[in-house]
Protein backbone atom coordinates (compact mmCIF):
# COMPACT_ATOMS: atom_id res chain seq x y z
CA UNK A 1 0.00 0.00 0.00
CA UNK A 2 2.86 2.36 0.81
CA UNK A 3 4.30 1.94 -2.71
CA UNK A 4 1.00 2.94 -4.34
CA UNK A 5 0.67 6.03 -2.15
CA UNK A 6 4.24 7.14 -2.85
CA UNK A 7 3.79 6.52 -6.58
CA UNK A 8 0.56 8.51 -6.64
CA UNK A 9 2.16 11.43 -4.83
CA UNK A 10 5.17 11.37 -7.18
CA UNK A 11 2.93 11.22 -10.26
CA UNK A 12 0.74 14.05 -8.99
CA UNK A 13 3.81 16.12 -8.15
CA UNK A 14 5.30 15.41 -11.58
CA UNK A 15 2.14 16.50 -13.35
CA UNK A 16 1.86 19.61 -11.22
CA UNK A 17 5.49 20.53 -11.77
CA UNK A 18 5.48 19.74 -15.50
CA UNK A 19 6.71 22.63 -17.61
CA UNK A 20 4.24 24.00 -20.12
CA UNK A 21 4.01 21.86 -23.22
CA UNK A 22 4.32 18.47 -21.52
CA UNK A 23 2.66 15.76 -23.56
CA UNK A 24 0.84 12.54 -22.84
CA UNK A 25 3.95 10.72 -24.13
CA UNK A 26 6.06 12.22 -21.34
CA UNK A 27 6.34 10.13 -18.17
CA UNK A 28 6.29 13.09 -15.78
CA UNK A 29 9.85 12.35 -14.68
CA UNK A 30 11.17 14.84 -17.25
CA UNK A 31 9.62 17.55 -15.07
CA UNK A 32 12.26 16.83 -12.43
CA UNK A 33 14.76 18.74 -14.59
CA UNK A 34 14.86 22.30 -15.92
CA UNK A 35 14.15 22.65 -19.65
CA UNK A 36 15.37 25.10 -22.29
CA UNK A 37 14.24 25.75 -25.88
CA UNK A 38 17.03 25.28 -28.44
CA UNK A 39 16.48 25.29 -32.19
CA UNK A 40 12.86 24.17 -32.12
CA UNK A 41 13.55 21.50 -29.48
CA UNK A 42 12.86 21.34 -25.77
CA UNK A 43 16.03 20.12 -24.04
CA UNK A 44 17.21 19.35 -20.53
CA UNK A 45 18.99 22.48 -19.33
CA UNK A 46 21.83 20.72 -17.52
CA UNK A 47 20.95 17.04 -17.08
CA UNK A 48 22.94 14.42 -19.01
CA UNK A 49 22.25 10.76 -19.69
CA UNK A 50 24.93 8.18 -20.47
CA UNK A 51 25.05 4.90 -22.33
CA UNK A 52 27.72 2.25 -22.80
CA UNK A 53 28.21 -0.53 -25.30
CA UNK A 54 30.78 -2.91 -26.69
CA UNK A 55 31.35 -4.80 -29.89
CA UNK A 56 33.93 -6.13 -32.33
CA UNK A 57 34.31 -2.75 -34.08
CA UNK A 58 33.97 0.90 -33.13
CA UNK A 59 30.79 1.13 -35.22
CA UNK A 60 29.19 -1.80 -33.38
CA UNK A 61 30.24 -0.54 -29.96
CA UNK A 62 29.05 3.01 -30.67
CA UNK A 63 25.70 1.75 -31.99
CA UNK A 64 25.26 -0.35 -28.83
CA UNK A 65 26.08 2.66 -26.61
CA UNK A 66 23.63 4.89 -28.49
CA UNK A 67 20.94 2.18 -28.25
CA UNK A 68 21.51 1.94 -24.48
CA UNK A 69 21.23 5.75 -24.16
CA UNK A 70 18.05 5.84 -26.25
CA UNK A 71 16.38 2.89 -24.53
CA UNK A 72 16.94 4.21 -21.02
CA UNK A 73 16.07 7.83 -21.87
CA UNK A 74 12.83 6.82 -23.64
CA UNK A 75 11.92 4.52 -20.74
CA UNK A 76 12.54 7.24 -18.15
CA UNK A 77 10.99 10.26 -19.91
CA UNK A 78 8.88 8.90 -22.79
CA UNK A 79 9.60 8.12 -26.42
CA UNK A 80 9.79 11.73 -27.60
CA UNK A 81 12.91 12.24 -25.43
CA UNK A 82 14.67 9.10 -26.64
CA UNK A 83 16.57 10.18 -29.76
CA UNK A 84 20.32 10.47 -29.22
CA UNK A 85 20.61 12.34 -32.53
CA UNK A 86 18.09 14.98 -31.39
CA UNK A 87 19.97 15.42 -28.10
CA UNK A 88 22.48 18.21 -27.51
CA UNK A 89 25.95 18.30 -25.96
CA UNK A 90 26.62 14.83 -27.38
CA UNK A 91 29.93 13.12 -26.76
CA UNK A 92 31.29 9.70 -27.73
CA UNK A 93 34.40 8.04 -26.28
CA UNK A 94 35.70 4.67 -27.41
CA UNK A 95 38.65 2.50 -26.46
CA UNK A 96 40.04 -0.88 -27.37
CA UNK A 97 41.03 -2.40 -30.68
CA UNK A 98 39.29 -4.33 -33.41
CA UNK A 99 37.71 -7.39 -31.87
CA UNK A 100 37.01 -5.73 -28.52
CA UNK A 101 35.88 -2.10 -28.52
CA UNK A 102 33.96 -0.30 -25.76
CA UNK A 103 32.18 3.04 -26.19
CA UNK A 104 30.39 5.43 -23.90
CA UNK A 105 28.06 8.23 -24.98
CA UNK A 106 26.65 11.17 -23.09
CA UNK A 107 24.10 13.84 -24.05
CA UNK A 108 21.37 16.12 -22.79
CA UNK A 109 17.98 14.73 -23.91
CA UNK A 110 15.72 16.82 -26.16
CA UNK A 111 12.26 16.40 -27.64
CA UNK A 112 10.65 18.05 -30.65
* pLDDT attached to residue 103: 98
**DSSP string covering the chain:** -HHHHHHHHHHHHHHHHPPTT--TTS-SGGGGS-EEEETTEEEESS--EEEEEEESSHHHHHHHHHHHHHHHHHHHH-GGG--GGG-EEEEEEEEEETTEEEEEEEEE-EE-
Q: Give the start-to-end residue ranges of the domains of the chain.
A: 34-111
* pLDDT attached to residue 8: 32
Residues of the chain with pLDDT under 70: 1-25
* pLDDT attached to residue 38: 95
* pLDDT attached to residue 89: 98
Q: Which pTM does this prediction carry?
A: 0.76
Amino acid sequence: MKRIAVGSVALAAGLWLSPAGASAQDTGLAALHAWVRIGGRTCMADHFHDGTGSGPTRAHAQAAAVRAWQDFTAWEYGGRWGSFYSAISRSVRCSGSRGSVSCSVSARPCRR
